[in-house]
Amino acid sequence: MFASQLGNFPFASNNKIFKEEVPNSSSDMSVLDGAGDNNQNVPDKTKLIVNYIPQFATEDDLAQIFTPIGRVESIKIMRDFKTGYSFGFGFVKYTTAEEAANAIEALNGFTFRNKRLKVSYSRPPGADMKDSNLYITNLPKDVTEEDIDNLFKHYGEIVQRTVLKDKITGLPRGVAFVRYSRGEEAQAAIANLDGKMLENAILPLSVKVAEDHGRQKAQYLECWNPLLFNRGKKRRLY
């Protein structure tokens, strides 16, 4: 099916692939994440991260999509080790940087079942650790830390999460921070959750890299007026 859709691509070729046998747990992603990286600070231009993979898609399904572009060395969909639940993202590694670039050009935005794939370069492990910290706004006012865990755990290992609460009322403010073990996990969460409409929320979820955890938190606290909240006058300030 997909081979026929991609058969007219100028980069088409028929190649066999190797599906990497690595731990499925997101906490063990470092085994795969470092594959092919000669320098941890230099991106591997042959390795791609693929977001918005349909829940029941397999590596063989992705192979039909990505192998017509060039010589694929490995494909891996990240899954929960115990349940087999797909995290909705994975990795594709090509033989050359040119083939990977062609794949981004041809397949970024490609419609696969009910999803539009997002294809981009995979970030190297350990690059810019500050990029692993997310700033989340527009959360429902009754959100809990357990809710945050359930929402964000599918995209990587959560190192720390904080739901900001008012010191007087103890109620959530609709803002949270989530820190992953790697920036790439944070990017996967952004790709899958930013703009998502949650139950009981007024606005779509905003998920972005926290530029400065302390500064953003201070700015939010500075503009927050608990008296307005207590009077029932909820003023949205973000």
Q: What is the CATH number of the domain that holds 33?
A: 3.30.70.330
pLDDT of 183: 86
pLDDT of 3: 40
pLDDT digits (tens, 9 = 90+) for 112-123: 998 899 899 886
Based on the domain organization, do 111 and 135 belong to the same domain?
no
Question: In this structure, is residue 85 part of a structural domain?
Answer: yes
Q: Using CA atoms, how far apart are residues 197 and 139, in angstroms rounded to an integer?
A: 9
- The one-letter amino acid code at 216 reads Q
Give, rounded to a whole angstrom, the gap between the first and last alpha carbons of the chain: 45
Based on the domain organization, do 22 and 114 belong to the same domain?
yes
Based on the domain organization, do 16 and 109 belong to the same domain?
yes
Based on the domain organization, do 137 and 36 belong to the same domain?
no
Tell me the residue range of the domain where 161 lies.
129-230
Based on the domain organization, do 89 and 168 belong to the same domain?
no
Based on the domain organization, do 91 and 167 belong to the same domain?
no
pLDDT of 151: 95
User: What's the rounded mean pLDDT across residues 161-187?
Assistant: 87
Based on the domain organization, do 135 and 92 belong to the same domain?
no
Question: In this structure, is residue 213 part of a structural domain?
Answer: yes
* 121, 141, 161 - which closes a domain: 121
Based on the domain organization, do 70 and 13 belong to the same domain?
yes
H-run or E-run covering 47: strand 47-51
Task: Between 159 and 4, name the one with better pLDDT.
Answer: 159
| Contacts for 76 with CB less than 8 Å, ≥ 6 apart | 19, 20, 22, 32, 59, 90, 91
pTM listed for this prediction: 0.49
If one counts the domains in the chain, the total is 2
* 87, 105, 121 - which closes a domain: 121
Nearest residue to 64 via CA among 96, 98, 92: 92
Task: Between 34 and 74, name the one with better pLDDT.
Answer: 74
Q: Using CA atoms, how far apart are residues 196 and 169, in angstroms rounded to an integer?
A: 28
pLDDT of 152: 95
H-run or E-run covering 158: strand 158-165
| pLDDT band (50, 70, 90) for residue 56 | confident
pLDDT digits (tens, 9 = 90+) for 78-108: 886 677 777 788 899 999 999 999 999 999 9
In sequence order, what are the beta bridge partners of 165? 172
Q: Phi/psi of residue 78, each to 5°?
A: -80, 130
Q: Is the pLDDT of residue 193 over 80?
A: yes
Question: In this structure, is residue 150 part of a structural domain?
Answer: yes
* 121, 146, 178 - which closes a domain: 121
Nearest residue to 117 via CA among 19, 17, 20, 5: 5
